Amino acid sequence: MINIGSKVICVYDRFPIQVFRYGSALPMKGCIYTVQRMLIARDGITGIEGPAFVLCELHNPLPSGGDLSFATERFEEIRPDETLEDEVQEEEDLVLVDCVS
């Protein structure tokens, strides 16, 4: 279960061009982030409400206050109970990505 402080990995990083009206620090596939806040947010493009995360590592202040949030379906939880062996295998399978915004 994902909570505040949980580590998540981005699994989907394609955004419509309109999202750049709200911010430019966007999650990148394969990068790990820390959940700062969980909320129900309205998608700025579709208007549909859904669960979302504000991430510690990304800063996109909104004019109305707060920070840009991202739909939870873009992420998977990194479970702390994964074994070191599993992590080593996953690292061998990953392609290196520059996660700096």
Contact 47, 20 (CB under 8 A): no
Classify strands 7-10 and 75-77 as parallel, antiparallel or unpaired.
antiparallel
On whether residue 28 sits in a domain, the answer given is: yes
Q: Which residue has the higher pLDDT, 58 or 64?
A: 58
Q: Which structural domain range is residue 24 located in?
A: 7-93
Q: Which residue has the higher pLDDT, 82 or 39?
A: 39
CA dihedral 40, 45, 48, 52 (to 10 degrees): -20
On whether residue 85 sits in a domain, the answer given is: yes
On whether residue 98 sits in a domain, the answer given is: no
On whether residue 40 sits in a domain, the answer given is: yes
- Cα distance from N-terminal residue to C-terminal residue, the chain: 27
What pLDDT, on the 0 to 100 scale, is given for residue 80? 74
The total domain count for the chain is 1
81-101: pLDDT as tens digits: 764 455 555 555 555 555 654
Please name the residue that has the structure tokens 């074994």.
Answer: 83
Dihedrals phi, psi of 52, to nearest 5 degrees: -150, 160
On whether residue 1 sits in a domain, the answer given is: no
On whether residue 2 sits in a domain, the answer given is: no
